[in-house]
Structure 1
Amino acid sequence: MVATVVQLTESKKQIQQNHRIFDDQKKAFRNNPMPSLTERQENLKRLKRVLLANQDRLLEAMDRDFSCRSRDESLIAEVMPSVQGINYTLKNLNGWMKPSKRHVSMLFQPASNQVHYQPKGVVGVIVPWNYPLYLAVGPLVASLSAGNRTMIKMSEFTPHTSALFRELIESTFPEDLVSVVNGEADVAADFSALPFDHLLFTGSTSVGKLVMKAAAENLTPVTLELGGKSPAIVASDVPMEDAAQRIGFGKALNAGQTCVAPDYVLCPADRVDAFVDEFRKQFTAMYPTLRDNDDYTAIINERQYDRLQSYLEDARSKGANLIEINPAQENLKDGTRKMPITLALNTTPDMKLMQDEIFGPILPIITYGNLDEAIHYINDRPRPLALYYFGYEKSQQDYVTTNTHSGGMCINDALMHVAQDDLPFGGVGDSGMGHYHGKEGFLTFSHQRAIFSKQRFNSGKFVYAPHGTTAHKLIYKMFIR
C-alpha cells in the first residue's frame, strides 16, 4: 500500500514536471522558430559525442535490463545504427533544408512556387523496451534535424537504460531543447495526451490505438510504428542453407524481441523437413549453448516470459508439434529467462501464437502448395510491418513484391531494410502509419509549407470580375481543354 502511494506521488510529480517542460519547450520554440543549419548540425554532433563517450555504460545498462543482453547485438542493433543515422543526416541535412522549387502554370505567371521546410515545434516520442537506445535516438535525430524541440518518454521496463539515457541527455542539451521522461503507464498516458505538434509512438497495435485516440483530442499528427505478424516466404527452389541461415539470424537477434522479426515462415509442404533440419544446423552454429552464452539475449522480464510460455502451452494443448532447438540440452527454466527457439508445426488459426504478434523465440512454419497460396495467406491477414521473400528467381521476386503489401520488405534477407539510412521505415494498416529514417524522418517532422510568390505585375487581375470579358473568354479557351 505504501509503495503504491509513493508511486502515485512520484507519477503526479512527473506529470506536473512534464507539463512544465512542454510549456518551456513551446516558449523556446517561439523564440527560435527556424534553427539554422549550423545549430542543427551542432546538436547532432553533441548527441553523437555523448553516445560514443558513453557506449560502454549504455551497453551495461541494457545488459542489466534484459538480465543478459548480447553486447554485440547492442552494438550492431542499437549503437551502430544510431551513430550511422547521425552521420548520414549530417552529410545530407544542408540539401534537405533547402526550399524546393515547384512548377508554376502559365496561367499564373510571372510568379514562383516553393516548398519551405519548417520545424513543426515540440515533438513527442514514446520509446518501447525492446531497442531502448536506437528507438529513442532515431526519432530524436529526425526531430533535431528538422529543427524541433523534443520530449522523449522512455519505457518503464528498461529502468537502467532509461535512467542513464535521461542523465546523458540532461548533461548534453538544455531541458527546453531535449528532455527525457521516465515513469509508469499513467505518466505515458498523460504524455500522449499533451498537445504536441507531432507524436511518434513505437509499440504494440493495441497501445497504438490508445495513443492515436489521445492525440486526436489535440489534432496532433501521429507516426505509429507498430508490429504485426511479419511473414517469411521460402521459395520452392531457394538453397535451404541460405534461407534458414538468414531467417535464423533475424529470429534469434534479441531473442526474437524485434518488431520486424520473422513471425512465421511460409514453406513449401515438401520442404518443411529440410527447413527444420537446416534451421537447427544454422542456429546451433550461431549459438552452440544458450544458458551462459553472452551472445544469446534473455527475455526482458517475467511478464513477457510467461506470455511466451503460455503461447507454447496453448499451441501444445491444441495439437501443434513443437520442436525446441536447445543445442546443448541445457536446463533453462531454473533461474534464467533465456528461451530456446521453438519451431511450431501443424498450427491452427485458433492458437494464440497464430493470432498475436509473437515477439519472442517461437517460429511457426506454415505449409503452402504454390506461391499464389502463400500470397493469399498473407493478404487474408492484417498488413505486416515487414515481409521477407527468399528465392533467386527474379520474376517470382517481382510477383511477390507486386501482389503483397507490407510496411517494408527484404528479398533474400531479414531485418536489414531497417538499417538502410536512405530507406523510409514505417508500417501500413495495422502495422502503423507514417515513416521516418533519413530524409523521410526530416520530412515527417517538418511542415512542408507551400509558398506562392509574385511581385508588382498582377496577372490575376485578368480573371477578376466583371466576368464575361474578352480576356475571360480567351483564358477559358486556352486553359480549359
Structure 2
Amino acid sequence: MQAIAPTPAVISPADDFRRHQAAAKSLRTEPIQNRRARLEKLRAWIHQHRRDIQEAMYADFRKNPTEVDAIEIYHVLAELKHALDNLEEWTLPTKIDAPLTLLGTRSFIQYEPRGVCLILSPWNYPFSLCVGPLVSALAAGNAVVIKPSELTPHVSALIRQMADEIFDGAMVSVWEGGPEVSQTLLQLPFEHIFFTGSPAIGKVVMKAAAENLASVTLELGGKSPVIVTASAHVKDAAKRVAFTKFLNNGQTCLAPDYVLVDKTMAADFTKALIEQTQLLFTEKGESFENSAHYCRIVNQKHFDRLHDMVQNALEQGAKIEFGGKMDAASRFIHPLILTGVPLQARLMEEEIFGPVLPVLAYDNLDEALAIVNGKQKPLALYVFVNDKITETRVLEETSSGGACVNDCGVHFMHPDLPFGGVNNSGIGKSHGHAGFLAFSNEKAVMKQRQGFTTANVFYPPYTATVRKMMDWFLKLF
C-alpha cells in the first residue's frame, strides 16, 4: 500500500479549536438522530475501507490481515454497534428519588456533551485505540480533535482521510505530526482529553490539562502480572498467556509483563509456554522470521530499548529458555522467554512492551502477592486458578485496573465492562456506557415545588421553634 499524503493544514490548531467551539454549541441542542447518523456513517466507512485498514497496518507493523480484523476492526465495530443499540437509553435523563428532607422535589441527571475533546492516540493499536474513543465522544455529542501517532504514519494518514470523508471539519479534525503538534494542542482549553500511552507522558498530559482544569481519561500501562497457581490448568494457562503476550509482538498495554508460577509446576508451565508460542505464531515448522502471523517492533528506538533490557537481565544471571535471536535491520525479536530474572533487573522494574517474558517461580502465594504489591498498580492482573479461596485472596489483596481469572486481556472486549487503569496505570474508564460517561457531564438537576417546602422550616431567624425542629430532625439520622 502506498502512503497517503497528509492533507496540508490551512488553519492553525488555535483556529481549528475555535471552529470546534462554535460547532459544540450547536451539538448540545441537536437531535439524537444526528449523533446516530454520524456513527452510522463511521460504521459504513470502516466496512467499505476494511482492506485499506489492513494494508495500512501491514505497512506500519507487518500485521496479519486477520489479526487486524480481529483486534483493530472488530473492537471498533463492536463499540459502534453497542453505542447505536443503546444511544437513546444512555442519553435519557436518569430519575433520582427524593430523600425525606427534600420531599416535593423532582430530580434527575441530565447527560450533556463536555464540548470540545482531544483524543491523543497511541501507535501500538493505532486504529482501534483512536477510533474506539472517537465512537464514545461522538455518541456523547462532542466535537473532537484527533492527534494520531506519528510512529504509524500509514494508519495516521488513513484516519485523517476517514475524518475528511465522513465528518464536517468543525466537528472532527485530525492533526498529524510529531510531539510538537501534541504540545501545541495541549496548550488549548479542551473540555476533555483522552490519552492512551505511557505513564510518563500521561503525567505530561495531566499537567497540561490542569492549566485549563480539563477533565482527563488516561489509559496508561504498567507491569501487568500473571499468577499461575498450583491448581491451574497448565496447558490452558500457557496458551492464553502466550497468545496475549506475543500478539502484536508484545506491544500491547494489556500484555502479561511477567509470570509468577508456583514452583511445583514451573518447569511444566515453561515447557508448555514454549510449545504454545510455537503453535500459535508459526506453522509447518517455519521460523518466526518467516511467519505471516508474527509482527515486528514499531521502530529502532524501541528495538534498542528492548535489546538493552534483555542484556541487562542476562548480565545479572537470567537464563534464556526460548528464543534470543534479534535482527536490528528488520526490527525482528524472536519470542523470548527467560527464567531466573532478578527482581532488580530492568525487565522486572520497567514495562517491557515487547516480546520478552520473564517467568519466575514462587514458593508460596504470599511471596507472589508481595512481588505484585511491591510495584505500581498495573492496568491488569491475571490469575490462573481452580480454587475459590485462592482466587478471592488474589483479587482482594491486590489492586489493578482490571483482572481476568483463567484468561488474559479478554475483559477489554466486553462492551459492558469499564476499561481502564488505577493510579499509575490510568485514570478514568472507557468502552460502552463508561466511555459515553467519560465524554459526558452528568449534570444534576433538581426542580423545586412552588410555595411551602421542607427546607422553609429551617430558614432563619433561628428561633426556639426552629432549634426544636432541628433537634428532632437530627435524631432521624
Q: TM-score, normalization: structure 2?
A: 0.94
Given candidates 255, 264, 270, the residue that maps to 1:276 is: 270
Q: Which stretch has the larger CA shift, 23-32 or 221-230?
A: 23-32
Amino acid at match of 1:74: V
Residues 119-139 of structure 1: CA deviation (Å, up to 9, x unaligned):
110010100000000001111
Give the Å deviation of 1:144.
0.7
* Alpha-carbon distance between aligned partners in 2 of 1:166 and 1:399, rounded to the nearest angstrom: 47
Given candidates 27, 31, 43, the residue that maps to 2:26 is: 31
- Partners of 2:313 and 2:345 within 8 A in 1: yes
- Partners of 1:384 and 1:406 within 8 A in 2: yes
Matching residue of 1:5: none
Matching residue of 2:382: 388
Q: 1:125 to 1:15 in 2, by over 3 A?
A: farther
- Does the alignment pair 1:318 with 2:339? no
Instruction: Supply the RMSD in Å over aligned alpha carbons.
Output: 1.8
- Does the alignment pair 1:64 with 2:21? no
Given candidates 345, 351, 355, the residue that maps to 1:357 is: 351
Give the Å deviation of 1:466.
1.8
- Partners of 1:34 and 1:119 within 8 A in 2: no
* Alpha-carbon distance between aligned partners in 2 of 1:426 and 1:164, rounded to the nearest angstrom: 26
- Partners of 2:320 and 2:338 within 8 A in 1: yes
Q: Which stretch has the larger CA shift, 461-470 or 310-319?
A: 461-470
Amino acid at match of 2:77: V
Given candidates 450, 461, 468, the residue that maps to 2:463 is: 468
Q: In structure 2, the residue corresponding to 1:430 is in which secondary structure? A: coil
Q: 1:409 to 1:106 in 2, by over 3 A?
A: same
TM alignment of 1:401-412, pairs within 5 A: 401-412=395-406
Tell me, which stretches of 5 or more residues in structure 2 are unaligned? Answer: 1-5
- Partners of 1:14 and 1:183 within 8 A in 2: no
Given candidates 154, 158, 164, the residue that maps to 2:158 is: 164
Alignment size in residue pairs:
466
Matching residue of 2:421: 427
* Alpha-carbon distance between aligned partners in 2 of 1:438 and 1:199, rounded to the nearest angstrom: 18
TM alignment of 1:441-480, pairs within 5 A: 441-459=435-453, 460-468=455-463, 470=465, 473-480=468-475
- Partners of 1:100 and 1:114 within 8 A in 2: yes
Amino acid at match of 2:133: P
Given candidates 331, 347, 368, the residue that maps to 1:374 is: 368
Give the Å deviation of 1:345.
1.2
Residues 129-183 of structure 1: CA deviation (Å, up to 9, x unaligned):
0000000111101111111111110000000110111011111000111111101
* Alpha-carbon distance between aligned partners in 1 of 2:66 and 2:331, rounded to the nearest angstrom: 19
Residues 326-363 of structure 1: CA deviation (Å, up to 9, x unaligned):
8xxxx762742221111121111332211110000000
- Partners of 2:270 and 2:359 within 8 A in 1: no
Q: In structure 1, the residue corresponding to 2:441 is in which secondary structure? A: strand
- Partners of 1:290 and 1:338 within 8 A in 2: no
Given candidates 230, 251, 263, the residue that maps to 1:236 is: 230
Give the Å deviation of 1:188.
1.0
Q: Which stretch has the larger CA shift, 394-403 or 431-440?
A: 394-403
Tell me, which stretches of 5 or more residues in structure 1 are unaligned? Answer: 1-9
Q: Which stretch has the larger CA shift, 462-471 or 424-433?
A: 462-471
Matching residue of 1:307: 305
Give the Å deviation of 1:271.
2.0
Given candidates 34, 46, 49, the residue that maps to 1:54 is: 49
* Alpha-carbon distance between aligned partners in 2 of 1:115 and 1:206, rounded to the nearest angstrom: 35
- Partners of 1:34 and 1:118 within 8 A in 2: no
Q: Give the fraction of aligned pairs with identical amino acids, expressed as a percent.
A: 36
Give the Å deviation of 1:15.
10
Given candidates 51, 74, 77, the residue that maps to 1:83 is: 77
Give the Å deviation of 1:265.
0.1
Matching residue of 2:186: 192
* Alpha-carbon distance between aligned partners in 1 of 2:107 and 2:39, rounded to the nearest angstrom: 31
- Does the alignment pair 1:136 with 2:130? yes
* Alpha-carbon distance between aligned partners in 2 of 1:220 and 1:311, rounded to the nearest angstrom: 36
- Does the alignment pair 1:108 with 2:106? no
Give the Å deviation of 1:16.
5.8
- Partners of 2:83 and 2:139 within 8 A in 1: yes
- Does the alignment pair 1:122 with 2:79? no
* Alpha-carbon distance between aligned partners in 1 of 2:102 and 2:10, rounded to the nearest angstrom: 51
* Alpha-carbon distance between aligned partners in 1 of 2:251 and 2:298, rounded to the nearest angstrom: 9
Amino acid at match of 2:18: D
Give the Å deviation of 1:35.
3.2
Matching residue of 1:19: 14
Give the Å deviation of 1:55.
1.1
Given candidates 63, 74, 81, the residue that maps to 2:68 is: 74
- Partners of 1:127 and 1:155 within 8 A in 2: yes
Amino acid at match of 2:313: A
Q: 1:466 to 1:48 in 2, by over 3 A?
A: same
Give the Å deviation of 1:251.
0.6
Amino acid at match of 1:65: D
* Alpha-carbon distance between aligned partners in 1 of 2:29 and 2:164, rounded to the nearest angstrom: 23
Q: TM-score, normalization: structure 1?
A: 0.93
* Alpha-carbon distance between aligned partners in 2 of 1:15 and 1:322, rounded to the nearest angstrom: 53
* Alpha-carbon distance between aligned partners in 2 of 1:96 and 1:287, rounded to the nearest angstrom: 41
Amino acid at match of 2:40: K
* Alpha-carbon distance between aligned partners in 1 of 2:214 and 2:328, rounded to the nearest angstrom: 47
